[in-house]
């Protein structure tokens, strides 16, 4: 994720941040009034754009990877400007 990340979808970033805040993408989907599959698809799109896994699962819990931590910091700052 060291390269610049032009064109990241703000809606996908919002789903990513909400998913991590809720602890699951199913809960994020409920909060955002979306389907779980839509939120999961947005995460996959972000991972593809970043060229790295952003989240791992440990049991039922989501854990940020090192790249996910970097993106989370960036995403929170970007969404705060909204």
Tokens standing for residue 51: 């060229």
Q: Give a yes or no: residue 64 inside a domain.
A: yes
CA distance 38 to 15: 9
Domain-embedded: residue 3: no
**Total of domains in the chain:** 1
The pTM for the full model equals 0.86
Range of the domain at 18: 10-80
pLDDT tens for the chain, 82 residues long, are: 445 556 788 999 999 999 999 999 899 999 999 999 999 999 999 999 999 999 998 887 889 999 999 999 999 999 998 8
Residue 4 within any structural domain of the chain: no
């Amino acid at each position: 994720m060291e390269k610049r990340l032009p064109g990241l979808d703000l809606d996908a970033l919002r789903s990513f941040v909400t998913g991590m805040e809720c602890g699951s993408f199913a809960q994020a989907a409920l909060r955002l009034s979306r389907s779980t599959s839509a939120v999961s698809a947005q995460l996959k799109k972000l991972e593809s754009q970043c060229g790295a896994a952003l989240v791992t699962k440990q049991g039922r819990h989501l854990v940020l990877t090192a790249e996910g931590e970097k993106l989370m910091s960036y995403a929170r700052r970007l969404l705060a400007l909204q």
